[in-house]
Each structure stands twice: as C-alpha cells, then as structure tokens.
Structure 1
Amino acid sequence: MKKALILFSFLILFASTGKAQTVLPAQYQELVKKLTANLPKSANLNQKESSTNSTSLIDFAKSMLGIPYRYATSNPKIGFDCSGFVSYVFSNFGFKVPRSSVEFSATGKVTSLENAKVGDVLIFTGSNPRVRRIGHVGIVYSIDSEGIKFIHSTSGKAHGVTITEFNEYYKSRFMKIVTIL
C-alpha cells in the first residue's frame, strides 16, 4: 500500500508539472492519463495552497470586522481606509501590494466576475458611479448561489470594516476584479 501511495504521489507530481510525458517511462504514462483525466485543467500542487491561503486571508480579514473607517490609514489600532485595509490584509501574508486603490488596478491578474474566487480584489469607482475613476477596493469574501459578498472598509453607513453584498449599487460602481493569490 505504501509503494502504491508513493507511486501515485510521484505520478501526480509529474503530471501536474507537465513533465509526465518526458520523465515517466512509457508504461506509466497511460496510468498518469487515467489518474489525472478528471482533474480540472488548472489543477496543480499549488491549488490546495491557494485555497488554504484564501481561507486564511479571509479569516484574518474577518478578524478586523468593526474596526472603524479612517481616511489615509492602514493601522488596525487607529482604523483603515479601503485600500489601507486591503493592503494590510495582503501584506500580512507576505504579498507586496499597493497602498492606493488606483494602483490596485495594475496589480495581479485581471479576471472576470464569472471566474471570481474568494480572495480576489474588487475595484470600484468612488461613491459616485457616474465618475468612472477608481476610488474603492474590497476583497471577495464569499461566492454562493446568492451572489458575491466582499469585505472592505467603508466610509458609508457601516463606517468601518464590514461585509457587503455585491448589490446593484456596487455593480454600478464596479470597474474590474484582479487575482493576487
């Protein structure tokens, strides 16, 4: 059983790195194809790590719910503005991210709402959706049949770190979404 597990791990390792065809003997190549046939095309060894990182990232962000909004601040003892909150959360996990909401549009990899994942960064206009200039950011908190929820620091009604539905108001302000994890 131990040998089978080691062989299986070895096969998955090389299949996920794309080297199965050139590294494995021909007799194992068919086995690799069968074992990996049902894996998503993007499956690789970092997929679990990314999932764990997004869970840890959201848990950390959630621990700051209720910290007050404070313009131009990224200090949990004083408060956060939107980009201060997002940059503080990502920086805690070793990511080098910008401090301003405008700079987030040039960070990470642009994706679509249909391909959004927990941990992605939503980029919005400022509070006036007619002025199509970046002015707000938040982190995708959850995605389910009800839609997307995101965690952010808002100067609005909640006046601090809160979880908000990606509702019609925020859809009208939506500019883009980027993946950093």
Structure 2
Amino acid sequence: MKKSLFIFCFLFAFALSSKAQDNVSLPAQYQKMMEKILGNIPKVATSKANSLLDFAKSMIGVPYRYASSNPSRGFDCSGFVSYVFGNFGFKVPRSSPEFAATGVPVKLSEAKVGDVLIFTGTSHKSKRIGHVGIIYSIDNEGNIKFIHSTSGKANGVTITDFDNYYKGRFIKAVSIM
C-alpha cells in the first residue's frame, strides 16, 4: 500500500507539473497505472467503513443511557457515535450539536455508508441539533438505514430506516472518514 501511495503521489505531482508547464498529459502507460491505483482507493475506504459498521453493529441492543458513552452502562446517541469512531482512531465530538462543525459536509444524495447524519431533537418546536447516527446502508433506490442509540421505542442501539419522521428532522450529513 505504501509503495502504491508513493507511486500515486509521484505520478500525481508529475501530472500537475507537466500540465502546468506545457499542457502535456501523462504517457499512456503511466495514465493506466494511475487509473489502476485510483480505482483501488474506494475499496480501501469501503473496507474501513465496513469495519466501523461491523463494530457498531456488534453493539445492537446496548441500552440507551443519557449522557453515557460506556457500552457496559449504555449510550446516548452522540456517546455511541463518538465511541464507535473513537475505536478507529477518529477524534469526534461527544455532543450532538458539535457534530455540525466536524468532518466534511456532504449532500445527502452524495452521502456514503459510514457518514454521520445530524438531526434535530425530538421536540417539534425546536430546530436545534439533538440527535446523530451513522449511515449503515444505502440500497440501489437510495433508501438509507442508519445505526444509532435512541431513547425511542427500541431504547438502545438499533438500525432504523431514514423514513419521513427522520427526514423531517434531518439537518445535514458529514463525512468523518
């Protein structure tokens, strides 16, 4: 992987310097090599997202517990998300509202598995951030399921459809990975 990354960086720098100097593109053999390397990058990202989600899924059924990020006691929503990402070396906030300023904002239509969804709280009167979850799956029709810790019916870590109820509370999506 390190060798591929080095080759990619070299070829990328070569391409930039060549184009900047005289609008010459990469020779065909290097262009094919660069395309092959670039083609493998999403597989690496998908692998990390899958590992993260497998870990998150292992906590389904852990009960909801306000202000907790401890799997032996339970999780609130942001405690769950921060615990999951923290186990993979990502530094993320501990409270839901802070997620709005974390990561890279992405359009919902461009969100990927492993991205974080940010919602309002349950009060219909307030538009303040109050809930977060991690995109668990996106099917071919664009239907999203997300994993989160909820104080609702499931009362703990569960996988939920991004249905009209959550669409009405949706604020934004961010990419952490």
TM-score, normalised via structure 1 length: 0.82
User: Where do 5+ consecutive residues of structure 2 fail to align?
Assistant: 19-23
- 1:29 maps to a residue whose letter is P
Q: What residue is the counterpart of 1:51 in the other structure?
A: 46
Is 1:98 the counterpart of 2:96? The answer is: no
- 1:73 maps to a residue whose letter is S
Corresponding residue to 2:27 among 26, 29, 37: 29
Q: What residue is the counterpart of 2:171 in the other structure?
A: 175
1:37-63 Cα deviation digits (max 9, x unpaired): 699xxx476433321110100000000
Is 1:164 the counterpart of 2:148? The answer is: no
Alpha-carbon distance change, 111 to 129 in structure 1, aligned in 2, over 3 angstroms: farther
Q: What residue is the counterpart of 1:3 in the other structure?
A: none
* Deviation of the 1:32 alpha carbon: 2.8
Corresponding residue to 1:72 among 53, 56, 67: 67
- 1:153 maps to a residue whose letter is S
Alpha-carbon distance change, 30 to 78 in structure 1, aligned in 2, over 3 angstroms: same
The 8 Å contact of residues 120 and 169 in structure 2, kept in 1 or not, is answered as yes
Q: Distance in 2 between matches of 1:87 and 1:77?
A: 15
3-state SS of 2:88 partner: coil
TM-score, normalised via structure 2 length: 0.83
Q: What residue is the counterpart of 2:21 in the other structure?
A: none
3-state SS of 1:53 partner: helix
Q: What residue is the counterpart of 2:108 in the other structure?
A: 113
Q: What residue is the counterpart of 1:4 in the other structure?
A: none
Q: Distance in 1 between matches of 2:164 and 2:69?
A: 28
Q: Distance in 1 between matches of 2:139 and 2:90?
A: 26
1:137-161 Cα deviation digits (max 9, x unpaired): 0000000135000000000000000
Which is richer in helix? 2
Is 1:124 the counterpart of 2:119? The answer is: yes
Q: Distance in 2 between matches of 1:49 and 1:34?
A: 19
Choose 171-180 or 129-138, whichever is displaced more: 129-138
Alpha-carbon distance change, 145 to 30 in structure 1, aligned in 2, over 3 angstroms: closer
- 2:79 maps to a residue whose letter is G
Q: What residue is the counterpart of 1:82 in the other structure?
A: 77
User: Where do 5+ consecutive residues of structure 1 fail to align?
Assistant: 1-7
Corresponding residue to 1:153 among 149, 164, 170: 149
The 8 Å contact of residues 11 and 32 in structure 1, kept in 2 or not, is answered as no
The 8 Å contact of residues 15 and 25 in structure 2, kept in 1 or not, is answered as no
